[in-house]
Structure 1
């Protein structure tokens, strides 16, 4: 038996507790009946959750973020699927450049990206447009989808595709009935990661949103600068719960381990 086993277990347990402690505290504070940021000690209350659902600005921002994240994640999948196939399966001039171009938003600070997009939208007169806000989020979330799609394509066995082509199936039929089902866990996982990242995006969104397209994270940031009541904890707890449910559904449907390794 490895002598360092118990030490490693204790170390990893402490790291996990350290990472989860802020989330647990936020969720506890969300159930406080008081008007200050305190952990409930005598009773739990749904007061601040009710306040969130009757607050018109928060509900409008929630629907903005929901539509924005859905559109951005879907468009990112539509872009990443052909791009992933081309980059992972074919050799052509500029292949490395194209791969680096798609993945470059991962290394660009969102603050810099937000300022650059704000300048661009100002020059072309597109400030305040929901469509351009969607385009901004597509730029940010596409790398997450592309990485998982490429990993899924690399991990599948291509013999089934070759057999279908040999038996007379056309390339489109092979793609629709064989390739896509085989890499569906990677596509679904990429869509979910893109959705979550778009829904939670704050730094860049501050620069490119307008009063009509304020997203939920931006609304939370604006509200936090004006008030210190536990409503922010309630909104955060709801977002944590939605993310957890989405991950649970994905795990039950496809298996997170298969998605992460990009294999069916």
Structure 2
């Protein structure tokens, strides 16, 4: 069967439909005027979106998640860029161990990480701090940045850097003026993936958040244990919209095709 044949296209369409169907249903339910989780049959309403912005706990949790995700993604990127360059270009003792250490959060369940971090923070009396919550998020999102940075570095041509060095540029100048612009699509894509994963993280965050640092996914989880109404669908639709806007902005600035090619 041809890779581009009718059956292959039909199979791909079915897979995409299966993946997107739950998101579409949630987004449609968010516009219901009813008090229950039902698909609107008479008319569309913004009632539950207005209820989200009128709910102070959700607004504050959104601000917490937005700030937390931005700071954690920036810190993880600052850590992953030099680590990725070192792992991709140099051979040194412990290189494989360092790579495995950075990527280990991908194979450790977030439930286990949450319990371990809670125990650690309790021992050092650091529970309830935004700083330690940020570090916890850095641990779990750094692998996403590192993988894209390594792929971007391995896909670059070092001749431009060598030419700059031969013309008298310092290593810092070469990194700032040559290396970083070449790997910027991968770095930006990694930052965005880290931001999205931090913003959506709930399993680990449940263990390390405090009443003052409750994130939006944790707030949604807490609200869902008490009541089920279209408010949750409205919040979910807003999160889907935020992610879609971020991906669209990344595509317009750098192009997702460039990032995906660099990752391969």
- The TM-score range, normalised by the shorter chain, is over 0.9
The CA deviation at 1:14 is 1.0
Matches within 5 A, 1:122-141: 122-141=122-141
User: Does structure 1 residue 97 correspond to structure 2 residue 90?
Assistant: no
Q: Which runs of 4+ in 1 moved over 4 A?
A: none
Q: What TM-score results when the alignment is normalised by the length of structure 2?
A: 0.98
Match of 2:243 in 1: 243
Aligned to 1:83: 83
Partner of 1:156: 156
The change in CA–CA distance for 1:4 and 1:149 in structure 2 (over 3 A counts) is closer
| 2:202 equivalent in structure 1 | 202
**Secondary structure of the structure 2 residue equivalent to 1:225:** helix
Partner of 1:91, secondary structure, is: coil
Distance 2:118 2:260 in 1: 34
Residues 2, 181 of structure 1: alpha-carbon distance in 2 compared, 3 angstrom cutoff = closer
Aligned partners of 1:180 and 1:216: how far apart in 2? Answer: 33
Q: Normalising by structure 1, what TM-score?
A: 0.98
CA deviation digits over 1:128-176, x for unaligned, max 9? 1110000000000000000000100000111000000000000000000
Q: Distance in 1 between matches of 2:4 and 2:68?
A: 48
5+ residue gaps, structure 2, are none
Q: Which position in structure 2 is the counterpart of 1:170?
A: 170
Report the alpha carbon displacement of residue 5 of structure 1 after superposing the two structures with TM: 1.9
- Cα pair 2:69 2:198 within 8 Å, conserved: yes
Residues 184-207 of structure 1, C-alpha deviations (whole Å, 9 max, x = no match): 000100000000000000000000
Please say which of residues 10-19 and 111-120 is displaced more in the overlay.
Answer: 10-19
* SS of residue matched to 1:163: helix
Q: Partners in 2 of 1:207 and 1:192 — Cα distance?
A: 24
CA 1:126/1:15 → structure 2, altered by over 3 Å: closer, same or farther?
Answer: same
Distance in 1 (CA, whole Å) between partners of 2:34 and 2:60 is 26
Unaligned runs of 5+ in 1: none
Equivalence for 1:19: 19
1:148 partner SS: helix
CA shift for structure 1 position 7: 1.6
How far apart in 2 are the matches of 1:46 and 1:246? Answer: 23
1:62-77 superposed matches below 5 A: 62-77=62-77
Give how far 1:99 is off. Answer: 0.5
